[in-house]
Structure 1
Amino acid sequence: MTMPDVEPADWPGRANQAARSVTQRFGRRLLFLPGTHLAAVRWPSKVLDSLLHPWHYWWQAHYVDCLVDAGRRELGNGATPAARFNGPGSPSAGKLASRLVTGIRLRNAFTFVNSYYDDMAWLALATLRLEALARETRKPGRRRNARIHKTLTLQFDSASTDHLGGGTFWSTKRDFKNTPATAPVALYYARTGQQAKAQRLVDWLNTVLFDQAQGLYVDGARLNAAGEITVENTIYTYNQGPVLGALLELGGEANLARAATLIRAVDKHLTVPAHAVVPGSPPDSRTSILRCDGTGDGGLFTGILCRYLALAAADARLPEGARTTAGELVTATAGAFWAGRRTQGGPVFSIHAAQPADATYPPGAGVELSTQLQAWMVLEAAASVQQGPSTN
């Protein structure tokens, strides 16, 4: 019996819907100031909630990254007003991202420096991509981007010390070195031509925080009262992402072999059964998807991992099996988020891809920004896998 042809999913169109949903529900000027943009942490919310609620610097950094993703798709469609994700009468995704960076600085007490090196690393990575987008659209970024990178590089240099044998401190308390800080800092160094620094950080991760039995990276390490190194063995999905990115950016036989190992381990240990077969999926499509980690900061975790799996899926240096697995993990997870969305008034995505949004965000419930950014990131990653290699 011949199976009917399956229409390919329109991942760019779905990513645009997620982009519109997040920017319209959560995005606003900061205190009505022109030239600014910032996301509320919950929806619905009031105007002053951006000042009254806890400040989530790194959520906003990932919002910048998502807007850059949308901007790259606008660029691929000619960078015309008609190509804009939110319609020709709206600012481009790149311009909105630039306003968001301004909003972050103002909300963060007129500086890009804060107490957490991982927060700063995420913003540094996002603004590197924003600067590249500005160059390609012939709209060079202001000197602000160069100042951001100069300022934050000094922060990373001060936090990446020989204590505990290497690695990057998590916070200015300087009592804990972990994968959440070390991995994105390593990736930032690799993307800014500082390969030796990046490789030293990756080597430390491989020596101290790589779990040989599972093939995954654990959380972090600290000195106990006796002066001995103790390791925090919790495994988080998102930590695997920037390590994978750094391995790919550095390249070389050992790093690429470790990247392939990491992809296999993610598939083995960090997946769960999907809640349903996604409508329109081929009959032999995978039924496991990436696990998700709840709300709050955990609401971002799976999206971050998918961003870097999408890069792996397009990297011809990796074995075909690893590339295929990476791409399938992304598209299957994106398909589950899309199939489980709540559609009234624009899509609302579930906290967990393995559960429908009606179960995790029933009508009337407040919706958290991190979880919606996560679904948007996953859909952007699926669009990237579908469209092939692009700037990272």
Structure 2
Amino acid sequence: MMKLQHLGLILFSWLTLASCNKIEDEYQYKDELDVSWEQMAQQTTEQLIAQFWNQEGYFNYGSEGSDLGFQYWPNAHAMDVVIDGYLRTNDPKYSAYFDKWFEGVKKKNGNTYKNVFYDDMEWNALTMLRLFEITKEQKYMDAVLLLWNDILPAWNTEYAGGGLAWRKDMLHSKNACSNGPASILAARLYKLTKEEQYLEWAIRIYDWQKETLFDRATGAVYDNINGETDVVNKTALTYNQGTFLGTAVELFDITQDPLYMNDAQKIANYTITKCIDASNNVLRNEGDGDGALFKGIFVRYFVEFLLRDGVQEAFRSKFENFLRNNAKVAWTQGQDAGIVLFSPSWTQKPLGQTQLTSQSSAAMLFEGLVYFEKTHKNN
């Protein structure tokens, strides 16, 4: 899935977050924006469907009028946005896409859910697990377990002492992108089934990643280790930060071990101080294509982290304001008013056509913020 060249880390230059006004009236930046977070989420998600949905039952990679074909892994995230929209509104117009997507993606992917990329299968399994939780339809769980059993052979100790490989034909490449989502999947399967094997896998994968691809001093999550040379690529990308953060939160939920929340806080703090465009204090542009999805994935798991009681109060305000600032900047600078299409940068309007990855990422930001504000307010 990682088809782009890795980006170097942006040098840290911390800017103090401006204080935000009290959130009122559907989580609006009062006197600054004339649209609510809810409206931002609604418009961005609606445009994702309008511009990218293919009537054959999947999401196109390019917006309407472009010819960029089909990509398997972004389809999972686009459907996650549709699920977010459904959970936000309980509107059946969103759930009407569930079955169509489930069948359409399989057909377009060669009449199978399996793939050479382990991480791609993990993302789709996570989405299908959400569909199962909502609908309770067994076909979704059956597909999750089919994928899970195809993912498990990725684990091998021949290279790097363990960890899940990135690709079926590259068992020596152990990547954060194939281990983070897998451990989240295992933890969530445990929550649903209470079968110990899933918890054991979640912890095993997490512990290996923490030992091999995590800087405990800073909170950086490294991209991969080459098991043939034992060389670690120390690039830190937002989506890898997000999935390791997400696993820490899942394991904290299960075990209540504060060590997981300590890890999560380090990961979150590193991301919002190092993986940013310092001039606007928003998550940085990590390129188009695959990279355009990375920020949204981080936001999804960052929001889950912020909803836990274990976040230290000394950090909570900074984290919450960072989330709101990203949404404010993305809405005011990252899209043309009235068009609601987003580029890979949340500080620049798109030029011409846009991609499923960048639109999904923006939608995850706004949907995630609405979910956070509503849930936080009700707790």
**Superposition TM-score tier, normalisation by shorter sequence:** 0.7 to 0.9
Aligned to 1:101: 102
Q: CA deviation at 1:183?
A: 0.4
Give the alignment partner of residue 258 of structure 2, picking from 253, 262, 265: 253
Partner of 1:18: 44
C-alpha displacement at 1:214, in angstroms? 3.2
Q: Is the 8 A contact 1:115 1:172 kept in 2?
A: yes
Alignment pair present for 1:240 and 2:244: no
**Contact 1:290/1:329 (<8 A) preserved:** no
Taking the TM superposition and a 5 Å limit, the aligned residue runs for 1:104-119 are: 104-119=105-120
Q: Which has the higher contact order (CA 8 A, sep 6+)?
A: 2
Match of 2:60 among 13, 23, 40: 40
CA gap 1:13/1:208 in 2 versus in 1, 3 angstroms: same
Q: 2:227 aligns with which of 200, 223, 229?
A: 223
Answer yes or no: is 1:68 the counterpart of 2:83: yes
Unaligned stretches of 5+ in structure 2?
1-19, 29-35, 191-197
Partner of 1:155: 150
SS at match of 1:216: coil
Provide, for residues 202-261 of structure 1, a one-character-per-residue CA deviation record: whole Å limited to 9, x for no partner. Answer: 11111111124532110111233xxx4221121111101111111010111211111111
TM-score, length basis structure 1: 0.81
Corresponding residue pairs, total = 336
Unaligned runs of at least 5 residues, structure 1? 31-36, 76-83, 85-90, 135-139, 276-287
1:28 aligns to what?
Answer: 54
> Of 268, 272, 275, which aligns to 1:267?
272
Aligned equivalents of 1:55, 1:268: Cα separation in 2: 34
- Tell me which stretches of 4 or more aligned residues in structure 1 moved more than 6 Å: 3-6
1:127 matched to 2:122: no
Q: d(CA) in 2 for partners of 1:328 and 1:14?
A: 17
What is the root-mean-square deviation in Å for CA atoms of aligned residues?
2.1
Give aligned-pair identity as a percent.
Answer: 25
> How much has 1:387 moved relative to structure 2?
0.8
* Amino acid in the other structure paired with 1:220: N
Letter in 2 for 1:57: Y
TM-score normalized by the length of structure 2: 0.83
Say yes or no: does 1:187 pair with 2:197.
no
Match for 1:199: what amino acid? I
Distance 1:294 1:341 in 2: 14
The amino acid that maps onto 1:109 is G
Who is 2:359 aligned against? 372
Q: Alpha-carbon deviation of 1:160?
A: 1.9
Displacement of 1:320 in angstroms is 2.3
**1:43-79 Cα shifts (integer Å, max 9, x gaps):** 2336xx4xxx45311100101111111111123xxxx
What is the aligned partner in structure 1 of residue 4 from structure 2? none
Opposite residue 368 of structure 1, the aligned amino acid is Q
| 8 Å Cα contact 1:340/1:350 also seen in 2 | no
On the 8 A contact 2:80/2:127 being kept in 1, the answer is yes
- Secondary structure of 2:70's partner? coil
